[in-house]
Amino acid sequence: MDLYWLTQAVAYWSLVLFFIPPYYIKKLMLFSFLGGFVYTWIVQIIAVNILKRWIFEADIFMIYNIPVFFSISWFAVTTIFGYLLWRFSSYQIWIVIFFTLWATLMNLTAVSLERISLPGWSIPETFMFAIFSHVLLLYVFKYMHHVNALGANEEMFKDSFMGFRKR
């Protein structure tokens, strides 16, 4: 299992290359690097090394007790998140909900596979922190890429549920 995070990173980057046109990948690199790699490292250093809330099992390549490929995975996920926000901003509620649930499910999966233990943390806390993180990233994206439709606005609920209206 010492290749778990590498395998996850390869899978997520495969999704990036399969779903996102190269033009958008280039445009999203700074956001993805800051939001997916740097932010992930900051959170991990605080949670793993300072607060001791999470403990990663030994992996193929670790720095400061954190699997490097874990952060590379979330670099890819943040690229997908940014692309969907850019292309489908009227569905921002669903995008945030999906990625919050995805992060929570992947954390639960890693716990069940014993790739990480959570001595001072819980899955519900992961869910709540994922809400915070994805809303924060949404606003970072909004200001980096000037997508004014993102964030709280009068039409956000109506736009997100317009697909449910009878035609």
Per residue in 108-138, pLDDT tens? 999 999 999 999 899 999 999 999 999 999 9
Which range has the worst mean pLDDT, 53-62, 81-90, 92-101, 144-153? Answer: 144-153
Within 10 Å of residue 11's Cβ, how many Cβ atoms? 11
- Checking if the pLDDT of 58 tops 80, the result is yes
pTM: 0.87
Yes or no: say if 73 and 44 are a contact pair by the CB < 8 Å rule: no
What was the pLDDT predicted at 96? 94
Q: Mapped to the 3 state alphabet, what secondary structure does the chain carry? A: CCCHHHHHHHHHHHHHHHHCCHHHHHHHHHHHHHHHHHHHHHHHHHHHHHCCCCEECCCCCEECCEEHHHHHHHHHHHHHHHHHHHHCHHHHHHHHHHHHHHHHHHHHHHHHCCCEECCCCCHHHHHHHHHHHHHHHHHHHHHHHCCCCCCCCCCHHHHHHHHHCCC
Per residue in 95-115, pLDDT tens? 999 999 999 999 999 999 999
The pLDDT confidence band at residue 39, using thresholds 50, 70 and 90, is very high
The pLDDT confidence band at residue 163, using thresholds 50, 70 and 90, is low
Q: What is the mean pLDDT of the chain?
A: 89
Q: Computed from CA positions of residues 117, 72, 44, 94, in that sequence, does the dihedral angle turn out positive or negative?
A: negative
Angstrom distance (rounded) from CA 153 to CA 142:
13
The pLDDT confidence band at residue 31, using thresholds 50, 70 and 90, is very high
What was the pLDDT predicted at 167? 44
* Residue ranges covered by each domain of the chain: 4-164
Strand partners, 62: 67
- Checking if the pLDDT of 140 tops 50, the result is yes
- Checking if the pLDDT of 165 tops 80, the result is no
Closest CA to 76 of 30, 37, 108: 37
